[in-house]
Amino acid sequence: MNRPHYRIRSLRGLSARCLVLLSLLIIGIFPGCAGKDKGIEAGKDEGVFSGFRSAAGPSKSENEVDLSDKAMDYFGQGRYILAEEIFQKVRDRYPFSPYATLAELRLADCKFHMGNYDEAIPLYEEFQKLHPTNEAVIYVIFQEGSCYYRLMEGPDREQTSTHKLIETYERLLNRYPDSPYSYEARKRIAEAKNRLAQHEILVAQWYIRTEQVPQAKNRLEIAMDRYPNTSAGVKAAHLLKEERILQQTSTTETDRVKESEESWWRRLIPFI
């Protein structure tokens, strides 16, 4: 996961303009390099560049460059509110610029770093739609999954974000199985599946307490069958076995009571 690319925060000795120009040079959209589309791969949390698809023109406005310089400077300092405001201006004023493409990505990252995950998700999704062949999509899908990862609720709560996390990371693994994000994606999928199994167990235990045995059995079987390689899935299998034993014991006790009652009546009226 900690891929040793060109990290912005490790270059604090450079000016904001140097950071922007270095980023654009690396992503292949520096003025004069617009003949061929490139890609970008932004690094986890800080941003890493390795190419960027864009319809760049041969020249850039000074205002455009200055705005990007200032936004990147704020972003590198962790002043995401100020950076977000300026990136928005760049995107609105220069929609066909490579700086606008960079701004689109950074707007989503600003939301993410500020903890506004519900707002970051649609921005990451929009980037994927606008730039489907961009190499940055690998990073963007991972970041989308990271939003769901941070939105996951405890096992006693509703699990929509957990399902979304699994769906997003499986999409990443299917498209880019050997990406630098694959290890972490698989790790988080396993954690999410265990969370879902825990949820099923909690629901099953509530059914058991309320003497709704068939419903409890169904929930435990779901946890066991869908998430067999999780610790919670294994626990569900044990609980299901115990529940069956308890159910058998309960049935045996009921039969004994019936037999006892029947014997009492037969002793009282033996010929009936």
This prediction has a pTM of 0.72
Topology annotation, domain 1-131:
1.25.40
With the CA atoms of 247, 253, 256 and 258 taken in that order, what torsion angle do they form, in degrees rounded to the nearest 10?
A: -80
Please, what is the angle between helix 182-209 and helix 213-226, to 10°? 170
> What pLDDT shows up at residue 132?
94
Query: Could you identify the residue written with the tokens 């730039």?
Result: 131
Is the pLDDT higher at 267 or at 159? Answer: 159
Record the tokens describing residue 6, joined without a space.
Answer: 């060109």
Topology annotation, domain 152-265:
1.25.40
Contacts of 249 (CB under 8 A, 6+ apart): none
Residue 56 clears pLDDT 70, i.e. is over it: no
Looking at 210-230, list the stretches that DSSP marks H as alpha helix, in order from N- to C-terminal side.
213-226
CATH 1.25.40.10 residue spans of the chain: 152-265
Query: How confident is the model over 130-158, as pLDDT tens digits?
Result: 999 988 999 999 999 999 999 999 999 99
N- to C-terminal Cα distance for the chain?
81
CA atoms within 13 A on the CB side of 45: 7
> What pLDDT shows up at residue 62?
52
> What pLDDT shows up at residue 64?
81
How distant, in Å, are the alpha carbons of 30, 85, 129, 240 from that of 135?
17, 25, 13, 47
Number of C-beta neighbours around residue 89 at 10 A: 16
> Residues in the chain, how many?
272
Q: For residues 113 and 46, what is the distance between their CA atoms, to the nearest angstrom?
A: 10
Query: How confident is the model over 66-104, as pLDDT tens digits?
Result: 999 999 999 999 999 999 999 999 999 999 888 999 999
